[in-house]
Chains A and B, each alone.
Chain A
Amino acid sequence: MKRMVLVLLGFVLIVGSIGAQGKSERAAQSGPVTLKYAFWGNPDAIGVEQDIIEAFETLHPDIKIEPIVSGYADYHTKIMTMIAGNMAPDVMRIDDYYFFDFIKLGAVESLTPYIERDGIDLDLYPKMGIEEAVVDGQLYGLPWGTAPLYMLLNLDVFERAGIPLPPLDWTIDDFERIVRSFNPKVDNVYGYAIDTNNISIILPAVWAKGGSLLSEDKSQYTGDQSGAVAAIQLIADLYQQGYLPKDSVNAGNTEALRRWFSNNSLAMMSGSAQEILAIQNIEGMRFEAWTMPQAKGSKNTTVFKSNTISIAKASKQKEAAWTFTKFLRGVEGEDLYVRAKRFPPTLNIPENWDLYLEAGRYPKMIKENSELIAAEYGHTLPLRTGYAAIEAKIMPAVQAAMLGKNAQQAMSEIRADIMKIIETNSK
């Protein structure tokens, strides 16, 4: 009996290892190099990424690209698990929220030697996108989808309410006045709604009130100081007084925001390039992409966010991976992304706006407003290691303030926890 069990187990092990060995030997023996390229999206319809892959493979027949796609929600978990399981993708897109964690954990390769060797002109890339990928003088990725988080304005709602559009240099007081101009109890139309899913949504208000959530060097928590508290209290007051939809406090209501906006029940909402793409597909939607409200004397309140394309440190095909990365984030890849309207142009190539824009298609002012935001109104996120953990402390505190807790108390109670996260992640 024991002998039979051992024989069976041995058989299973041998068959399994032959299968695995065979696969890797087949891979080693075949001609083209196969790169694994990981990104988030719809696994059933990868769209422009397929076009990019085909265009690259045509130019480089010796390199095959195998896409690894999953939905955003679990994407970074999947990538981390793949890396831990020695199945790292060669090239991967990383959201900047997590980028510093990936760097700290040694998951990504420095691109600086490749850039210097090949003489890549970094002036082509948005300055803020490059800044977010540099640690200790080394550049760990090339920016992808660097774009502002706009304030989307529903033109029909504004017109019906008889409220003129704000100027681009509008203040937080202008914002409050506009929101309070709507009377949702009467006509179920709100001036603004938020999604308490991430810090990016509340940061513009915090900056507009002269505050911050982390210090300049990101080593101290400042969310319980006057500017930040005033911003959270403003949002809380608007919510308590019925000027924001009740569901604004639900972090799972992103889809609802888009629904209210497209149903003309909402005048303003924060929106990324992806939101713009979704809303553009709704027939008859007239909207603009605007700056965020500012402080008097300080314009930099519009979040300018990026993602990064990096090469995994564990990649065994770094040269091929670099060749693909250069294409993906170079002129050729950018050209395809912009033609597909995946995001507004990010490289400093003014002609790309002609590829992105369509006559008569909203938002019509996106070009001038994006350039203005990049030049004058943009502000990068206070990204650092442990950012997700810090966000997970701050957003429930914001929700508690919206539900009636004093904002000062709500933001002070989390100080010890956040400082602990910062200290742990600074080691």
Chain B
Amino acid sequence: MIRAEGRAAFLFLLPNIIGFLIFSLVPTLSSFALSFVNWGLLDKPSFTGLANYRELLSDSIFWLTLKNTALYSFVKVPLNLILSLLLAILLNQRLRGRNFFRAVAFLPSVCSSVAVALIWSPLLESSKNGLINHLLSFFGIDVIPFLVSPLWAMPSVIFVGLWKELGYFMVIFLAGLQGISRSYYEAASIDGANARVAFFNITLPLISPTTFFALTTSLIGSFQIFDLTSVLTKGGPANATNTLVMYIYQNGFQFFRMGYASALSLILFITIFIITLVQNHWADKWVFD
């Protein structure tokens, strides 16, 4: 019976396994192999050993894109988690129209990133014609060069990324919040705990598994940022918003350097892998199961 059940389970998993093999594992291993060759897509690959990795180490644009990607991720992710948690707590209250507000908050996350970037591009125009600058001018604030200043461009991209993803993580935190039994809050209230104490000693610890999931998925996704920067700024101005995935795309599909692009991809993979491992290692200290 157990063998029959195991067989059935395996058969149900088989489509996913085949998909994983064909669309994930094999391409990853192929990319690893390609990182040791020079290949322009149509010619024959020529083995170059570690040449692509040596070039990568001395490539200033690679280090810049890695820095930009890290900046985007390590600023956006904490902000995303904090704001989406606050939004979830707000929309977990008994409010009139709560479901409507939840739907409105979730809407941006179902739009494609390209559509979101196309909408925000004219809004962030660096003149009084841009809606945001136009509104700010009513408060006496000078035109802000949102997408054209190296100082403002990345914060602007982070803002648009936050706007798009807030709703998605709000829903995840909502699910986590609704999984907390009310009896904890009642007991704390009897013991004289106020809202702040209840939040830090009950809510946060009990949604830590949800927070861990949100943190991990958000970091993995943020490190692969491409579509927003590609449409909003094309990586500019002066490479201020050029990200690692954009640089991989440029090398692979615009400069036809598949070997070098594969080497960059492997570095991205290793970076995300190390970050995820570190997160898992530290999870024991703050995630309460």
Q: Do these two chains interact?
A: yes
22 examples of A-B residue contacts, CB within 8 angstroms: A8-B11, A77-B253, A81-B41, A105-B43, A105-B256, A245-B127, A247-B125, A249-B238, A250-B126, A250-B233, A251-B233, A252-B231, A252-B232, A252-B234, A255-B122, A256-B121, A256-B122, A389-B255, A392-B250, A396-B236, A402-B237, A403-B238
Q: A247 vs B124: C-alpha distance in the bound complex, in angstroms?
A: 10
A88 to chain B, nearest CB (A): 9
Of all chain A residues, the one with the shortest Cβ separation from B252 is: A77
Contact mask for chain B residues 74-111; partner A; CB cutoff 8 A; 1 contact, 0 none: 00000000000000000000000000000000000000
Of all chain A residues, the one with the shortest Cβ separation from B117 is: A252
When the two chains form their complex, are residues B121 and A252 in contact, meaning their CB atoms are under 8 A apart? yes
The residues in A between 80 and 131 inclusive whose CB is less than 8 angstroms from any CB of B are 80-81, 83-84, 101, 104-107
The residues in B between 20 and 35 inclusive whose CB is less than 8 angstroms from any CB of A are none
Sample of 10 more A-B contacts, CB < 8 Å, known A8-B14, A80-B253: A1-B10, A77-B253, A104-B40, A105-B43, A188-B128, A247-B148, A251-B233, A251-B234, A388-B255, A399-B236
Query: Which residues of chain A are near B40, meaning CB under 8 Å?
Result: 101, 104-105
Q: Does A59 reach chain B (CB closer than 8 Å)?
A: no
B231 to chain A, nearest CB (A): 6
A250-B255 contact, Cβ under 8 Å, with A1-B7, A4-B7, A399-B238: no
Q: A80 vs B129: C-alpha distance in the bound complex, in angstroms?
A: 40
Q: A76 vs B40: C-alpha distance in the bound complex, in angstroms?
A: 13
A101-B147 contact, Cβ under 8 Å, with A83-B42, A188-B127, A252-B231: no
Q: Which of A105, A260, A403 contacts B237 (CB 8 A)?
A: A403
Contact mask for chain B residues 38-75; partner A; CB cutoff 8 A; 1 contact, 0 none: 00111100000000000000000000000000000000
When the two chains form their complex, are residues B250 and A246 in contact, meaning their CB atoms are under 8 A apart? no
Q: Does A333 reach chain B (CB closer than 8 Å)?
A: no
Give the interface size class of chain B: 35 or more
Query: Which residues of chain B are near A255, meaning CB under 8 Å?
Result: 121-122
Q: A313 vs B232: C-alpha distance in the bound complex, in angstroms?
A: 37
Q: Does A5 reach chain B (CB closer than 8 Å)?
A: yes
Number of A residues, CB within 8 Å of B: 45
Of all chain A residues, the one with the shortest Cβ separation from B234 is: A251
Which one of B10, B128, B232, B255 has the greatest number of beta carbons of chain A within 10 Å?
Answer: B255
The residues in A between 221 and 262 inclusive whose CB is less than 8 angstroms from any CB of B are 245-253, 255-256, 259-260
A137 to chain B, nearest CB (A): 22
When the two chains form their complex, are residues A105 and B125 in contact, meaning their CB atoms are under 8 A apart? no
Q: A188 vs B143: C-alpha distance in the bound complex, in angstroms?
A: 12
Q: Does A168 reach chain B (CB closer than 8 Å)?
A: no
Q: Does B149 reach chain A (CB closer than 8 Å)?
A: yes
Q: Which of A105, A249, A396 contacts B148 (CB 8 A)?
A: A249
The residues in B between 219 and 272 inclusive whose CB is less than 8 angstroms from any CB of A are 231-239, 242, 250, 253-257
Q: Which of A83, A106, A252, A395 contacts B147 (CB 8 A)?
A: A252
Q: Does B150 reach chain A (CB closer than 8 Å)?
A: yes
The residues in A between 385 and 416 inclusive whose CB is less than 8 angstroms from any CB of B are 386, 388-389, 392, 395-397, 399-400, 402-403
Q: Does B205 reach chain A (CB closer than 8 Å)?
A: no
A247-B233 contact, Cβ under 8 Å, with A1-B10, A81-B41, A403-B150: no
Q: Does B145 reach chain A (CB closer than 8 Å)?
A: yes
A83-B41 contact, Cβ under 8 Å, with A247-B125, A389-B255: yes
When the two chains form their complex, are residues A386 and B255 in contact, meaning their CB atoms are under 8 A apart? yes
When the two chains form their complex, are residues B253 and A5 in contact, meaning their CB atoms are under 8 A apart? no
Q: Which of A76, A252, A265, A400 contacts B238 (CB 8 A)?
A: A400
A84-B42 contact, Cβ under 8 Å, with A247-B127, A403-B238: yes
A80-B42 contact, Cβ under 8 Å, with A188-B127, A252-B232, A403-B237: yes
Nearest first, the 3 A-B pairs at minimum CB distance are A246-B126, A105-B42, A77-B253
A392-B254 contact, Cβ under 8 Å, with A197-B234, A250-B147: yes
Of all chain B residues, the one with the shortest Cβ separation from A395 is: B236
Q: Does A264 reach chain B (CB closer than 8 Å)?
A: no
Contact mask for chain A residues 1-35; partner B; CB cutoff 8 A; 1 contact, 0 none: 10011001000100000000000000000000000
Query: Which residues of chain B are near A396, meaning CB under 8 Å?
Result: 235-239, 242
Of all chain B residues, the one with the shortest Cβ separation from A390 is: B255
Query: Which residues of chain B are near A388, meaning CB under 8 Å?
Result: 254-255
When the two chains form their complex, are residues A247 and B238 in contact, meaning their CB atoms are under 8 A apart? no
Chain B facing A: main interface SS: loop
Q: A5 vs B14: C-alpha distance in the bound complex, in angstroms?
A: 9
Q: A388 vs B18: C-alpha distance in the bound complex, in angstroms?
A: 38
Query: Which residues of chain B are near A249, meaning CB under 8 Å?
Result: 148, 236-238
Q: A245 vs B40: C-alpha distance in the bound complex, in angstroms?
A: 39
Q: Which of B121, B143, B233, B255 contacts A246 (CB 8 A)?
A: B143
A317 to chain B, nearest CB (A): 19
Query: Which residues of chain B are near A301, meaning CB under 8 Å?
Result: none
B222 to chain A, nearest CB (A): 20
Contact mask for chain A residues 294-305; partner B; CB cutoff 8 A; 1 contact, 0 none: 000000000000
When the two chains form their complex, are residues B255 and A107 in contact, meaning their CB atoms are under 8 A apart? no
Query: Which residues of chain A are near B231, meaning CB under 8 Å?
Result: 252
When the two chains form their complex, are residues A250 and B148 in contact, meaning their CB atoms are under 8 A apart? yes
When the two chains form their complex, are residues A106 and B237 in contact, meaning their CB atoms are under 8 A apart? no
Query: Which residues of chain A are near B235, meaning CB under 8 Å?
Result: 251, 396
Q: Does A307 reach chain B (CB closer than 8 Å)?
A: no
Which one of B10, B14, B126, B238 has the greatest number of beta carbons of chain A within 10 Å?
Answer: B238
Query: Which residues of chain A are near B7, meaning CB under 8 Å?
Result: 1, 4
When the two chains form their complex, are residues A256 and B125 in contact, meaning their CB atoms are under 8 A apart? yes
A251-B43 contact, Cβ under 8 Å, with A1-B7, A5-B14, A246-B148: no
Q: Does A196 reach chain B (CB closer than 8 Å)?
A: yes
A167 to chain B, nearest CB (A): 31
When the two chains form their complex, are residues A389 and B145 in contact, meaning their CB atoms are under 8 A apart? no
Q: A4 vs B9: C-alpha distance in the bound complex, in angstroms?
A: 13
Of all chain B residues, the one with the shortest Cβ separation from A254 is: B234
Q: A256 vs B236: C-alpha distance in the bound complex, in angstroms?
A: 16
Query: Which residues of chain B are near A248, meaning CB under 8 Å?
Result: 148
Q: A196 vs B126: C-alpha distance in the bound complex, in angstroms?
A: 15
When the two chains form their complex, are residues A250 and B237 in contact, meaning their CB atoms are under 8 A apart? yes
Q: A277 vs B34: C-alpha distance in the bound complex, in angstroms?
A: 43
Contact mask for chain B residues 140-182; partner A; CB cutoff 8 A; 1 contact, 0 none: 0001010111100000000000000000000000000000000
Contact mask for chain B residues 177-218; partner A; CB cutoff 8 A; 1 contact, 0 none: 000000000000000000000000000000000000000000
